[in-house]
Amino acid sequence: MNLLERLPYEWRLGWRYTRAGRASRRNGFISFISAASMLGIALGVAALIIVLSVMNGFQKDVLGRMLSVIPHIEIFTPDGQALPDPALTLAEVRQNPQVAGAAPFIGEQGLLVRGEEMKGASIRGIDPEQETQVTDVAAQLKAEGVLQRLEPGRFHIILGRDLARMLGVVEGDALTLLAPGGQMTPVGVTPRMKQMTVAGVFDSGHHIYDSTLALIHMDDARRIFQLEGPTGVRARLHDMHQAPQVTQQLAATLTGRLLLLDWPRQNSTWYAAVQIEKRMMAIILALIVAVAAFNLVSTLVMTVQDKRADIAILRTLGASPRSVMAIFIVQGAVVGVIGTLAGLLLGLGIAANIDVIVPALEQLLGFHFIPKDVYMISELPSDPQAGDIVPICLFSLLMSFVVTLYPSWRASRVNPAEALRYE
């Protein structure tokens, strides 16, 4: 005796009605609608998994590029002036077990001038020896031998790739840095200017930072902007997702009146926009699954109409209305389970191999889905997450079960006498 024969007869009949071969003997159109419903559920589930995986990949990729330039936590004074005791603040930050590294910095705005070209920039004064503890870009520049060129007193500057291109400069060229404020002279206020030498160019892969950020030595920044010391401390954590919790811990332990800013709050607008977009895409694509699941209603209604005689015979043999209802619930549930599993396998298969599938389609169709000069990436990233996949599958199974209730209830209300009257 196999496993199917050990199941209750409601399960066996429901499975028998689902199989295309048996159903096609009486009504092949019912089998076609059932297969179409199954295919619709599979495609809807697969589409949801693929789209959300790609959106997760975009978010992870962009976030990784952002955090290669910015720290997980920044600590600075409310007025933007130098820290009262930088050494003490650094020591207190490093005492937290979640902190992997910390470094002082000076953050100011300036104007870079090269000939007739003039661009505003975020000037970041750093300590080359400590900056590698908090950003990947600094570590990359050190490995390339560029960061070591930031020596105090030489007034070297490292520019983002896009910023250097907009100014039309390359390594070794000179440009002028205009600092805010000015100096009083007999002829009035004159802006503070300093000639800088381009020591190198960095490429973080994020347009905002590549087009606005410039790095100089912290001692040079202190002299140019006339500060007494670093204006803040940047910290990197072992787990970036713990940034809000660590920020609260540091706020309670740091000495003095300081402001703390973690990366989720620093990029709250972008982060919220991505989450809203992802949520809306999930809702829109879930409608595909819902429409496919509601096709089951048509399938079961036609099956009930086709099996009225069978239902009447079962009722005369002693089957209860609940048993009849269970037969058609099983039929709809089987379609939903098979469609969901097929969609899960299809979606995961495409999401896991999207880096191979997309280039093949681009070569076949002759155009690029994502131009590198527009999006700064040449391939679709993908990051399937269980937190997305499990709710998708549960939603599909739930919808498949819910839509079977009404047709199954109608089947249980069939009157045996009327059903057999014209048989």
204-259 tens-digit pLDDT: 877 788 888 999 999 999 998 888 889 999 999 988 888 889 999 998 888 888 88
| CA gap 282, 276 in Å, rounded | 10
Indicate whether 187 pLDDT > 80. no
Tell me how crowded residue 347 is: count the other CB atoms within 10 A of its CB: 26
Indicate whether 342 pLDDT > 80. yes
| CA gap 299, 150 in Å, rounded | 73
Expressed in angstroms, the distance from the first to the final Cα of the chain is 34
| Chain mean pLDDT for the chain | 81
| pLDDT for residue 376 | 52
| pLDDT for residue 266 | 78
| CA gap 354, 347 in Å, rounded | 10
pTM of the complete model beyond 0.95: no
User: Tell me: the pLDDT tens digits for 133-174?
Assistant: 898 888 889 888 889 899 898 999 999 988 999 999 999 899
| CA gap 204, 275 in Å, rounded | 23
| pLDDT for residue 377 | 58
**pLDDT higher at 380 or 202:** 202
User: Tell me: the pLDDT tens digits for 39-77?
Assistant: 888 888 898 899 888 888 887 887 777 777 888 899 988
Tell me how crowded residue 251 is: count the other CB atoms within 10 A of its CB: 12
User: Tell me: the pLDDT tens digits for 402-421?
Assistant: 888 888 887 777 766 665 66
Q: Residues 91-118: what's their mean pLDDT?
A: 90
Confidence grade of residue 20 (pLDDT, cut at 50, 70, 90): very low
| pLDDT for residue 159 | 93
| CA gap 179, 152 in Å, rounded | 18
Instruction: Break the chain into its structural domains and give their ranges.
Output: 3-64+271-419, 78-257
**DSSP track, 248-293:** HHHHHH-SSS-EEEEHHHHTHHHHHHHHHHHHHHHHHHHHHHHHHH
| CA gap 391, 344 in Å, rounded | 12
User: SS3 letters for 290-303?
Assistant: HHHHHHHHHHHHHH
| pLDDT for residue 183 | 63
